[in-house]
Amino acid sequence: MDMVQRFKGLSDPVRLRIFHILAAKGELCVCHLTEGLNLPQSTVSRHLSVLKQSRLIVAERKGKWVYYELLDDTVVQTLAKLILQQASADSRLQKDVQEINNITC
């Protein structure tokens, strides 16, 4: 996979937030992401599609919901570690994970 495409996948603030949440929390349902980010489902789905096309995440349908997680790939895992390390300086990313922790769906 072209590295440029992967970095383009992370170039949007919402996609970076989604990637960070998945790096911090692991597999999550789209409903958790929608509620935790406080964004419309269509917006979250569009960004998830870009992340998937960039080969950063994978999706699996379980019943009526689709669950997303980071691709099990050395480059993706390295990016995740870097973003998790840098997230301590970004209050928005920290708040996103806190919001996800408070969701019960």
pLDDT in tens, 7-41: 999 999 999 999 999 999 999 999 999 999 999 99
Write the DSSP string, 32-91: HHHHHHT--HHHHHHHHHHHHHTTSEEEEEETTEEEEEE-S-HHHHHHHHHHHHHGGG-H
Side chain identity at 90, as an amino acid letter?
D
Domain boundaries, the chain: 3-98
Q: Is the pTM here over 0.85, yes or no?
A: yes
Q: Residue 77 — φ and ψ, nearest 5°?
A: -65, -35
Q: Is the pLDDT of residue 47 over 80?
A: yes
Task: Say which CATH topology domain 3-98 has.
Answer: Arc Repressor Mutant, subunit A (1.10.10)
Residue 102 pLDDT = 87
